[in-house]
Chains A and B, each alone.
Chain A
């Protein structure tokens, strides 16, 4: 089996929106982080602060990404963030399909698919969020995940599939005080890889990283990643203190 590089990603959603604060946070983050090169890391800052955070992360172990992009690189898309702006400042990742976008901001599977294809075409890495909205039984869950993966990955070449990072982020566990339980996360991670094997060659699917997001903290990270089905975590609120983020990176480095 292919050894996959573990991941720690973090999204600030829209919680830290002042450039001043984003600058302070990212500067401190780089200071407290060890040169941990065994873990792939990236941050999705609040959209308006990307330009400020970019120079701080440049040449560091932490990559930069956008929480959303327009479905096309340029044109008549009032109010959208263009992938050209992200490339202009050296961003490498794009978060797609977060449940808030699907639910609150009308991101359809068709749009998510367009954005994903655009991201791959430009040589950036998509971090595709999928997951069920409410707790479901296994059979229903598999149907939901399969439908999302099928629609969101439509037209993706088998040579590109290993570039995609899948973030299992069930809406019912996002923004809560506790993460989903570890056995459920492991089962879901395995289910996602299993579904991918229905669409793509096994050896390519083995390279895909599947990570978990939803109320991840330094305390629960070890349990979450101590299973070959899960290749890392996507942090939210609980990563908002640089030391806590660094702790999570260490836990992932030690346990994956």
Chain B
């Protein structure tokens, strides 16, 4: 099964003004905006989604929200609605990032609601999973991930499930100078796919993209991508320099050529 490779990019709360966001998007568009072979998406800071979309809407780089409210509309003070995302033409939503769980007390139940809401609205959920801030043994890892997937994917229809992109983000490797070692990452991805097969079926699990996030750089992307289990990368601060972003995209693209 050949899966389309992915490069995702989150600006978190690092670039928060419309002008700076547009500047970065212009550069990304110029460098990678016609690259169709790799599925690309950007999660701008929540207040600048529209500015990013204004620049990227006619490129091959999709725009998404780093978070949405659990329901379409209503009494949800301070939340970003999927209705706004749909209106501006956003196509992705990031759900369940480690920071949302640990800093903002997001429950598994809320995450599950958001995933279902995104699927109902034909928005691609980019679901972050991982063992958290402490490294675990492989058995501990399997147990933790199975628990997450069981809650996150409750009542998700098998026909819809293949649309989900999973981002494996070990909390202990996020924002650190060094990514998790690639051998571990490859094994982790394999375990995750096995869990997905258990939850859905082999055919569905084979279609799902599992990407890696956590201190991704041009130094480690080639190695991370050297396993067929890794369908792409999810980058952060390293991409703030557009040339770096471009390099990551081409490293991901080249990783499968000649295979």
Instruction: Say whether A and B bind each other.
Output: yes
What is A's interface to B at a CB cutoff of 8 Å? 11, 13-15, 17-20, 46-52, 66-68, 70, 72-82, 84-86, 88-89, 95, 98, 100-101, 104-106, 108, 174-175
Closest to A20 in B: B87
A253, chain B: closest CB distance, angstroms? 26
Given A14-B69, A47-B80, residue A19 in contact with residue B50 (CB < 8 A): yes
12 more A-B contacts (CB under 8 A) besides A76-B14, A88-B47?
Answer: A14-B73, A17-B81, A48-B81, A48-B84, A51-B51, A67-B79, A68-B78, A78-B97, A79-B104, A85-B45, A89-B18, A100-B75
A141 to B18, CA, bound (A): 43
The interface residues of chain A, by DSSP majority, are classed as: loop
Residue numbers in B under 8 Å from A75 (CB-CB): 12-14
Name the distance in Å between A214's Cβ and chain B's nearest Cβ: 12
Render B32-48 as a binary contact track against A, CB cut-off 8 A, 1 for contact.
Answer: 00000000000101111
Q: State which residues 59-109 of B face A: CB under 8 Å.
A: 65-67, 69, 72-81, 83-85, 87-88, 94, 97-100, 103-107
Give the number of A-B contacts (CB < 8 Å). 159
Contact B175 A76 (CB under 8 A): yes
Contact partners of A66 in chain B: CB under 8 A: 78
Complex alpha-carbon distance, A18 and B84, angstroms: 5
**12 A-B interface contacts by CB (under 8 A):** A15-B75, A17-B83, A67-B78, A73-B13, A76-B13, A78-B100, A79-B104, A80-B67, A85-B16, A101-B78, A105-B78, A106-B105
Residues B77 and A78 in contact, CB atoms below 8 Å apart:
no
The answer to the question of B10 belonging to the interface, with a C-beta cut-off of 8 Å to chain A, is yes
CB distance from B174 to the nearest CB of A (A): 8
CA distance A14 to B117 in the complex (A): 15
CB distance from B116 to the nearest CB of A (A): 17
**Is B49 engaged at the interface, CB distance under 8 Å to the other chain?**
yes
CA–CA, A20 and B19, complex, Å: 22
B100 to A, closest residue via Cβ: A79
Residues of B within 8 A of A174 (CB): 75
Contact B99 A79 (CB under 8 A): yes
Q: Are A18 and B83 in contact (CB under 8 A)?
A: yes
